[in-house]
Amino acid sequence: MWPFTKKKQPVTPTGNPQQILFSQLDTTPQFGDNTSLTVNDWIRTTALNTLVEKPETMGLPPAGTGEEATYNVADRLSRLRELMNIPK
């Protein structure tokens, strides 16, 4: 085991910020549906890329994208959200 801790690198969003129009990949039927959820609850969501034309121009993966590519976009958006002060 290496006795030193690795210095964390700051997260730098990639891509054109003008093309990121969403901060998540899915939505709930009504605003605030998630506020009463606990860690073990699930809620039905709808993928945003199925609701808009040309989702890739808005920072979303194209409809029908595989799990790994979708996860990569979700991870990037999650890191971007962590950089912002978004009120809850």
71 within a domain of the structure (yes/no) = yes
What does the alpha-carbon distance between residue 43 and residue 37 come to, in Å, rounded to a whole number?
A: 8
User: How does pLDDT run across 25-59, given as a tens digit for each residue?
Assistant: 888 878 887 788 788 888 888 888 888 888 888 88
Is residue 77 assigned to a domain? yes
Q: Is residue 64 part of a domain?
A: yes
Q: Residue 83 pLDDT more than 50? A: yes
Note down the domain range covering 78.
56-83
pLDDT at 67 over 60: yes
Residue 18: inside a domain, yes or no?
A: no
Nearest to 30 by CA among 49, 39, 43: 43
Establish if 78 belongs to a structural domain. yes
Q: What is the distance between the alpha carbons of residues 69 and 19, in angstroms, rounded to a whole number?
A: 17
Residue 70 located in a structural domain: yes
Domain count for the chain: 1
Is position 42 within any domain?
A: no
Q: Classify residue 60: in a domain, yes or no.
A: yes
* Selection from 54, 58, 53, 2 nearest residue 25 by Cα: 58
